[in-house]
Amino acid sequence: MNHDNRSFDDPQGISTSRRTASSPVGIFDSGVGGLTVVKAMQSLLPSERIIYFGDTARVPYGSKSQVTIRKYAQDDTAILMRYMPKLIIVACNTVSALALDVVLRTGRGVAVIGVLEAGAGLAVERSANGRIGVIGTQATICSNAYALAINAIEPDMEVFSTACPLFVPLAEEGFIDHPASRIVAEEYLTPLLQQGIDTLVLGCTHYPILKKMLAEIAGPEVHIIDSAEAVASKARETLAAAGLLGSSSERSSPHLLVSDLPQKFKSLYKLFLGTDVPDVELVEV
Ligand code: DGL
């Protein structure tokens, strides 16, 4: 599977001439997880207008089949395309692993960045002993996409992976440092830590919500890779190279779209971003 990001001047894409530096950046995930990417974008690129779609009606994606995930990826991208984004960020490792090509096709010439490659690159950079742990959804781990991306950069690195399907519902419930989350996390992480990893990739955008607790369990000698930050710097690079970096001095709140339960999304937004909650619009998928 090709995980390359498409550039703005892809000859197969439609004209991007109607997109300008003031066009928005579209970001999507299955639910609240991609808000970790919104947060990183706001801190690195505060001038950008963000349209965020969380598919709260159909979360979780990570326990679904590839066929279903690819269909969802198409729907999610089509929703963002209504806003003529200059860039689409797939803030979902599951879609990045299994359906990035669907996003590229549906995005018709808009540049696309997947969160997975950004995280893999950063893990390779940080690991000193070449033993990297990856945690993600069932679908992401079964796809082996992280090991492939890491070994494409550095063939000698050893990758140890574990699916952590219970983390997404815990994060969606806002169980940030709840004893139940800690018991589950210890169960998932212990076998990985026993492999002597020095780097742990949070291969699902929901997991940085539990980052503080995961870092405590992993201990100070393990680097925690949060791909949200890596993807934000990749976004800056991509927009700068295309001459499409926003420069407005106005700071706008992200435009939030969800497919179900906007009120619940609002309360989680406040919990994760710690800022005032903009309106949340309900859209049909
Ligand atoms: N946050 C998503 C990811 O990064 C998906 C989690 C899920 O819906 O299962 O994989």
- Half-sphere exposure of residue 226: CA atoms within 13 angstroms, side-chain side: 20
pLDDT for res 96: 96
Helix (H, G, I), strand (E, B) or coil at 186: helix
Give helix then strand counts, H and E, for the chain.
Answer: 12, 10
Ligand 1 centroid from CA 93, angstroms: 6
For ligand 1, mutation pick of 94, 98, 117, 226 (most atoms within 8 Å of CB) = 94
Bridge partners, 6 (sequence order): 112
Ligand 1 centroid from CA 107, angstroms: 20
pLDDT bin (cut points 50, 70, 90) of residue 17 is low
Q: How far apart are CA 200 and CA 136, in angstroms?
A: 11
Q: What is the CB < 6 Å shell around ligand 1?
A: 29-31, 33, 59-62, 92-94, 137, 140, 168, 204-206
Q: How far apart are CA 4 and CA 184, in angstroms?
A: 34
Helix (H, G, I), strand (E, B) or coil at 51: strand
Quote the mean pLDDT of the chain: 92
* Nearest partner of 257 among 70, 63, 26, judged by Cα: 26
Kindly report the number of other CB atoms within 10 A of residue 177's CB atom: 10
This prediction has a pTM of 0.91
- How confident is the model over 179-212, as pLDDT tens digits? 999 999 999 999 999 999 999 999 999 999 899 9
- How confident is the model over 50-89, as pLDDT tens digits? 999 999 999 999 999 999 999 999 999 999 999 999 999 9
Helix (H, G, I), strand (E, B) or coil at 21: coil
